[in-house]
Structures are given as structure tokens and as C-alpha cells.
């Protein structure tokens, strides 16, 4: 048995993979593959509608919030958000708390003024900068709820009066959060929602239509909303896999139930980490991510040996991001507690043997 700690694309529920693979040959007993059906058929429209209504239900969204499934990775949103929300003579506030947030800042600067109101760059983004003030008249505040590479996670929504824009790519639907408090949420699907190739967007429609610039049709959120995510051919299979994953999440008991499981996994991992002097967590304890645990070894020369042992034990995807080094274990929704139990046992055994 393989234990999949990949950071993304990452583990999906077995049931989802089973159903998706059956649908590749015969979708809903239609005799056609899901890859062969038109997006404007009743067959696919049912999939899209179910996916959208599951998002609304699982996130408990109010009537102002619209749900879109759009092409492109989350990186597209680094550009599409300011394109739609930030005029050239306006200012947006950004929190710079990781590599992905820094990329979002770079893109936003192409469209208007960006003020970085807080940054954790001084300590390689190993903590979250929670104290900040925002400039008067700023049109939104952007932050990354979970920093996939550095292993930090906002435990609560930042305090601000501004409309909030959040990149939730790596922790969406993993815990209860005031989703309605956000003006705009975006997430690449390939971690907690499904497979790569589609973005989930949740947008409060009241923030749209305010910029003066002309927006190309394919990038205009309002037109996507008017067309119900069907302006052009949507990524049919990726949306189908998202729908199956959302169905699975609902069956598991929804966001509250998965949060409980995610807390158990993170508690088990971090309590073990803190009990073994051989391993270290570089991230401030209060900011530790429950989705991506970053850790290193006190003696760096042992890291290769630990990685080899992990490989023998079928622990897959724990090598750290190339910019951080060490190790990273991702505990997304679909990862069972039993995989974390194996990981911590391997760490304990290694510490006993080599320490
Ligand atoms: N934001 C975050 C928080 C991410 O983790 C990632 C990808 N790992 C991205 C944005 C970029 O996503 P994509 O590769 O889908 O563009």
C-alpha cells in the first residue's frame, strides 16, 4: 500500500477514482465516455449543476455568492482578480506570506497600485504577519489562507474591513471558515477538490462591474456568471472529478467532519515531530499548516537516509519543495489517518535506530 503525501496534484478518494475510471468507458450508462459527450448535453449539465450546488451547500454560501468552475490553474487568478477588481488609479492591499502570494503581488502590479501591508519575507515565510494596517480607499485585501510551500496556515480570517480576496488553493473545504466573509475565493482544484485543469471560484457578485477598464470576454467574471461557467467549452472531465470529490466530502459528513479528521492527522503528526529531537519544524507553532507539514532534520546529512527509508516504506511525495529543502508531508482531505500513523511510526523507528 502506498501512502500519498504529494503536495499537488495529490491524493484523491479511491471511490472517486473508481467512478471516474468507470465513466471513462461508460458514463451513467449512456454507452459513451465522459470524454465524448458535449458540454451542452443534459448529461453534463447535470454534473455541473450538482458540482455548483454541492459547493454552495458545503460552504453554506449566501445568495450574493456565485460559484464558477473556470479553466486554468490558480496562477491565472493572480492576473484575473486584479483585471476585474483593481483599476489603474486604485490600490489593493496584499499580504506577502509565501511564494504564491509573492507571485500574486507581481501580477497585480501590472494592473494598479499594490501595497504590501505585511510580509514574512524577513524569516523566509516561516510565520504569518498578523499585524497590519491597510491604506485608506484600498479596494481589497488579498491573502493566501494556506502556504503550500512554506507550511503556514491562517488559523482565522485576517481582521479587516476591506473586501477579502483569498487564494485557498491548498486548504479549501478542509475546515470551517466564514466563506461568506470573502468577496472572492479562488482555488486550483488539484489538492482538495479534484484534478488539475480547473479552478473553483466563489465570488460575491456585488464587487464586480466597478473597474473602468475593458475586460476581454474570456476573463470577465460577470460574463462567466451570466453564462453559468459555460461561456466556452469547460474542462468537462476535471469538473466531473470535482463533482465526485464534493459528493464524497458530503458523504463523509461535510466540512465539519473532515475538519475533525484533519485536526486528528495534524495533531498526531506535530506531537510526534515535537517529541523527536532529531526532527525540527521550522514554522512558528501557532501558524503551522494542517495541510502541508514542513520539517527538516537537526543533522542535514541524515536527510538522504531518511528519504530512502521513507521510500522503502512506500511513503510517497515527502521530499520538500526545491526552494525550502527538507521534507513536506501533505495531509489533504482524502489522506486517511492511517497514512499519518505509518509516517510517524517510520519517523520514530528511524530516530530510535539512527539517533
Ligand atoms: N496558490 C497556491 C496556494 C498553490 O499551492 C499553488 C500551486 N501549488 C498555486 C497557487 C498555483 O497553482 P497552479 O499551479 O494551479 O497555477
**Residue 170 in contact with ligand 1 by CB distance below 6 A:** yes
Strands 91-96, 3-4: pairing is unpaired
Instruction: With H, G, I as helix, E, B as strand and everything else as coil, classify residue 95.
Output: strand
Asked if 241 and 300 sit in the same domain, the reply is no
Q: Which three cell numbers stand for residue 252?
A: 463523509
Buried b or exposed e, range 280-301, using 16+ CB within 10 angstroms = ebbbeeebbbbbbbbbbbeeee
Ligand 1 centroid – CA 332 distance (Å): 14
Asked if 223 and 312 sit in the same domain, the reply is no
The arithmetic mean of pLDDT across residues 200-223, rounded, is 98
Last residue in a domain, options 188, 219, 251 = 251
What's the pLDDT at 322?
Answer: 83
Note the pLDDT tens digit of each residue in 276-326.
Answer: 999 999 999 999 999 999 999 999 999 999 999 999 999 999 999 888 889
The arithmetic mean of pLDDT across residues 17-38, rounded, is 97
| Structural domain contains residue 187 | yes
Ligand 1 centroid – CA 28 distance (Å): 32
Q: Which three cell numbers stand for residue 224?
A: 462567466
Question: CA-to-CA distance for 70 and 179, rounded, in angstroms?
Answer: 19
What's the pLDDT at 313?
Answer: 97
Give the strand order in the sheet containing 279-280: 279-280, 292-297, 327-330
Asked if the bond preceding 9 is cis, omega within 30° of 0, the reply is yes
Asked if 42 and 158 sit in the same domain, the reply is yes
What's the pLDDT at 270?
Answer: 98
Asked if 286 and 161 sit in the same domain, the reply is no
Has residue 355 got a pLDDT over 80? no
Residue 232 DSSP label: S
Identify the CATH number of the domain in which residue 345 sits: 3.90.1150.10
Asked if 41 and 153 sit in the same domain, the reply is yes
Asked if 182 and 107 sit in the same domain, the reply is yes
Strands 198-204, 65-71: pairing is antiparallel
Show binding-site residues for pyridoxal 5'-phosphate.
Answer: 74-75, 100, 148, 167, 190, 232-233
Indicate whether this model's pTM tops 0.95.
yes
CA angle in degrees (0–180, nearest 5) for 219-118-116: 45
The arithmetic mean of pLDDT across residues 112-137, rounded, is 96
What's the pLDDT at 321?
Answer: 87
| Structural domain contains residue 321 | yes
What's the pLDDT at 170?
Answer: 98
Show binding-site residues.
Answer: 40, 74-75, 100, 148, 167, 190, 232-233
What's the pLDDT at 17?
Answer: 98
Asked if 41 and 124 sit in the same domain, the reply is yes
Asked if 212 and 305 sit in the same domain, the reply is no
If one residue of 144, 148, 185, 322 were mutated to test the ligand 1 pocket, choosing by the most ligand atoms within 8 A of its CB, it would be 148
| Structural domain contains residue 341 | yes
Asked if 226 and 341 sit in the same domain, the reply is no
Q: Which three cell numbers stand for residue 64?
A: 450574493
Question: CA-to-CA distance for 145 and 169, rounded, in angstroms?
Answer: 8
| Structural domain contains residue 342 | yes
The arithmetic mean of pLDDT across residues 248-275, rounded, is 98
Asked if 232 and 258 sit in the same domain, the reply is no
Asked if 282 and 159 sit in the same domain, the reply is no
| Structural domain contains residue 4 | no
**Residue 10 in contact with ligand 1 by CB distance below 6 A:** no
Catalytic residues: 100, 167, 191
Last residue in a domain, options 225, 251, 277 = 251
What's the pLDDT at 184?
Answer: 98
The arithmetic mean of pLDDT across residues 246-269, rounded, is 98
The residue whose C-alpha atom lies closest to atom 14 belonging to ligand 1 is 73
| Structural domain contains residue 87 | yes
Q: Residue 146: which residues within 8 A CB-CB, separation 6 or more?
A: 152, 153, 154, 168, 169, 170, 171, 174, 289, 291, 292
Q: What is the mean pLDDT of the chain?
A: 97
Domain hosting residue 37, numbered range: 14-251
Question: CA-to-CA distance for 209 and 23, rounded, in angstroms?
Answer: 39
The residue whose C-alpha atom lies closest to atom 5 belonging to ligand 1 is 148
Asked if 223 and 260 sit in the same domain, the reply is no
Percent of the chain with pLDDT over 70: 100
* Band of pLDDT at residue 178, cut at 50, 70 and 90: very high
| Structural domain contains residue 9 | no
Q: Residue 171: which residues within 8 A CB-CB, separation 6 or more?
A: 145, 146, 153, 192, 289, 290, 291
Last residue in a domain, options 232, 251, 270 = 251
3-class DSSP string for 106-174: HHHCCCCEEEEEEECHHHCCCCCCCCCCCCCCCCCEEEECEECCCCEECCCCCCCCCCEEEECCCCCCC
Question: CA-to-CA distance for 230 and 238, rounded, in angstroms?
Answer: 14
Q: Which three cell numbers stand for residue 290?
A: 494542517
Identify the CATH number of the domain in which residue 28 sits: 3.40.640.10
The arithmetic mean of pLDDT across residues 198-213, rounded, is 98
| Structural domain contains residue 7 | no
Tell me whether residue 79 is exposed, middle or buried, using C-beta atoms within 10 angstroms of its C-beta: 0 to 12, 13 to 18, 19 or more. middle
Structural domains in the chain (count): 2
Amino acid at each position: 500500500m502506498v501512502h500519498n503525501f504529494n503536495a499537488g496534484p495529490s491524493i484523491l478518494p479511491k471511490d472517486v477514482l473508481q467512478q471516474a475510471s468507470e465513466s471513462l468507458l461508460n458514463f451513467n450508462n449512456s454507452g459513451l465516455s465522459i470524454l465524448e459527450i458535449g458540454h451542452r448535453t443534459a448529461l453534463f449539465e447535470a454534473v455541473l449543476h450538482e458540482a455548483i450546488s454541492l459547493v454552495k451547500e458545503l460552504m453554506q454560501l449566501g445568495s450574493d455568492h456565485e460559484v464558477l468552475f473556470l479553466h486554468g490553474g490558480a496562477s491565472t487568478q493572480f492576473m484575473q482578480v486584479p483585471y476585474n477588481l483593481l483599476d489603474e488609479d486604485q490600490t489593493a492591499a496584499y499580504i506577502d506570506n509565501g511564494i504564491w502570494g509573492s507571485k500574486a503581488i507581481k501580477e497585480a502590479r501590472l494592473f494598479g497600485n499594490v501595497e504590501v501591508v505585511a510580509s514574512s519575507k524577513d524569516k523566509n515565510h516561516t510565520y504569518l504577519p498578523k499585524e497590519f494596517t491597510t491604506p485608506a480607499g484600498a479596494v481589497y485585501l488579498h491573502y493566501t489562507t494556506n502556504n503550500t510551500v512554506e507550511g503556514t496556515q491562517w488559523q482565522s480570517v485576517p481582521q479587516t474591513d476591506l473586501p477579502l480576496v483569498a487564494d485557498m488553493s491548498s486548504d479549501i473545504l478542509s475546515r470551517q471558515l466564514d466563506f461568506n466573509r470573502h468577496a472572492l475565493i479562488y482555488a486550483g482544484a488539484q489538492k482538495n477538490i479534484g484534478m488539475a485543469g480547473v479552478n473553483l471560484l466563489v465570488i460575491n457578485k456585488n464587487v464586480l462591474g466597478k473597474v473602468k477598464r475593458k475586460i476581454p470576454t474570456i476573463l470577465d467574471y460577470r460574463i462567466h456568471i451570466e453564462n453559468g461557467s459555460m461561456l466556452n467549452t469547460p474542462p468537462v472531465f476535471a469538473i466531473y472529478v470535482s463533482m465526485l470529490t464534493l459528493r464524497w466530502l458530503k458523504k463523509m459528513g461535510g466540512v465539519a467532519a473532515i475538519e475533525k479528521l484533519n485536526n486528528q492527522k495534524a495533531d498526531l503528526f506535530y506531537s510526534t515531530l515535537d517529541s523527536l529531537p532529531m526532527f525540527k519544524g521550522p514554522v512558528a507553532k501557532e501558524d503551522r499548516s494542517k495541510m502541508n507539514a514542513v520539517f527538516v532534520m537537526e543533522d542535514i546529512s541524515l536527510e538522504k537516509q531518511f528519504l530512502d527509508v521513507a521510500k522503502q516504506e512506500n511513503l510517497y511525495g515527502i521530499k520538500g519543495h526545491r526552494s525550502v529543502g527538507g521534507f513536506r508531508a501533505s495531509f489533504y482531505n482524502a489522506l486517511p489517518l492511517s497514512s499519518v500513523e505509518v509516517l510517524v511510526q517510520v519517523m520514530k523507528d528511524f530516530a530510535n535506530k539512527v539517533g
